[in-house]
Structure 1
Amino acid sequence: MAGDLNGSIIAFLAAPEGTEQIELTDPWQAVEKAGGTPQLISTSPGEIQGFNHLDKGDTFVVNATVEEVGADDFTGLVLPGGVANPDFLRTVPRAVAFAKEFFDKAKPVAAICHAPWLLVEADAVAGRRLTSFPSLRTDIANAGGDWADEPVVVCSLGPNKLVTSRKPDDLPAFDDALLSAFAG
């Protein structure tokens, strides 16, 4: 894996329910192995419920809510997927604003699967090349993004990097790319 994240604090934004568990835990472990400190951010305190596709998985303790933190508190942002996770987050104005802050502050963002839905809502895809779960292709195109069917896409439009990936099968490439972006 690429990237040394010693001293880096990485935000993982997830809804109370509906996060695809492997898309949370795999990058989380990659950040830890690279020396970074992952922090789970959600819309409410307590725990979130992970999912293995449609089946309930494990629960995870929330470190802070979107009301308590901002992009300045972190080196970068990871947005795990799952259909329900970004669909819920994009209806919460503070969650959308939190994600947009990373672009405004030129900090790297990594999003997998359905997570780019939140980026569409945050008006952060126009002019960018990215990938996602295939069902988001039209939404990304309608928001001005250039969708690609590739395991991972790194877009350096402007001063920050956006790392996107399609699905859990692409996690090894996604993890390597996000570590490089966060270490850079």
Structure 2
Amino acid sequence: MPSRRRLKGRTIAALAADGYEKVELVVPLRALKAAGATVDVVSLRRGRIRGVNLHMPASRVRVDKTIEEADPGDYDALLLPGGFINPDLLRQSAPAREFVRAFAVSDKPIATLCHGPWVLASAGLVDGRTLTSWPGIRDDLVNAGATWLDQQLVRDGNLTTSRGPQDMAAFVPGMIGAFATTAPAPATTATRRESDRQREAPVGWAVAALRWSPKPSAVAAVSIGVAAAGQRALRTRR
């Protein structure tokens, strides 16, 4: 339990970019710190990165180090939150992919959920592994060589995965348990080599939340337009 300070003396990297699912970063961060760990938020840029609740903007989190400043050797474990924007940005970054690979090469614990395993797939780390994720990326992981299970928590060696926010009650203690060990646990699902089937319909609570979300504001629309225009201007100057 976090109250026992199981992670005292451990230093954890939380790799995240703009568009991280708020609950998937903030809740694990609080749990890790309560368990005694030192945690650095590592990202693609300096400053404060913006979270989301599904697709709606949420609060920001301060970045401790950029991906260029952070040394994987300084950390005992890696947390990769989800959200569909955050891992899509990270998987396109060569330094981010290399950062994640360094943990895998050293057999250090990696905990991720939701769309986070996208980053593992792009880093070439899921072939032959057993894991779970947000159901919508099941095919991406299977096509990358993974065995995908529709379970709230899956442990395979140094890799701990969950499906999303709905599994947070299982993910947090699973993550802390994995980060507290001095050596990766043996694969608990290695004998099962067939992936669970695709779901027949999208996750109901997510669909309902999107259905009842508010209309976009004029400020948001203008901001997107200004950002796009700025990027076009930069490309033109080059």
Would the TM-score normalized by the shorter structure come out above 0.5? yes
TM-score normalized by the length of structure 1:
0.95
- Counterpart secondary structure, 1:86: helix
More strand by share: 1
Correspondence 1:153 to 2:154: yes
Alignment of 1:56-71 (within 5 A): 56-71=57-72
- Counterpart for residue 193 of structure 2: none
Q: 1:4 aligns with which of 3, 6, 22?
A: 6
Residue 144 of structure 2 is matched in structure 1 by 143
Report the counterpart of residue 47 of structure 1 in structure 2: 48
Q: Which residue of 1 aligns with 2:173?
A: 176
8 Å Cα contact 1:14-1:41 kept in structure 2 = yes
**Cα distance in 2, alignment partners of residues 79 and 164 from structure 1:** 10
Q: What is the root-mean-square deviation of aligned Cα atoms in Å?
A: 1.0
Query: Larger relative CO (CA 8 A, sep 6+): 1 or 2?
Result: 1
- Which is higher, the Rg of structure 1 or of structure 2? 2
Give the Cα–Cα distance (whole angstroms) in 2 for the partners of residues 9 and 56 of structure 1: 29
TM-score normalised by structure 2 residue count: 0.74
Count, aligned residues: 179
Report the structure, 1 or 2, having the larger helix content: 2
Q: Which runs of 5+ in 2 are unaligned?
A: 182-238
Aligned match for 2:160, one of 163, 172, 176: 163
Query: Letter of the aligned partner of 1:122 in structure 2?
Result: A
Distance in 1 separating the partners of 2:173 and 2:126: 22
- Specify the SS of the correspondent of 1:180: helix
Q: Which runs of 5 or more residues in structure 1 are unaligned?
A: none
SS of the aligned residue for 2:19 comes to: strand
1:71-112: CA deviations, max 9, x gaps?
A: 211110000000000011111100111011100111000011
| 1:129-175 deviation digits (Å, cap 9, x = unpaired) | 0000001111111111000000010101xxxx100000101011111
Q: CA deviation at 1:115?
A: 0.4
Give the residue type in structure 1 aligned to 2:39: P
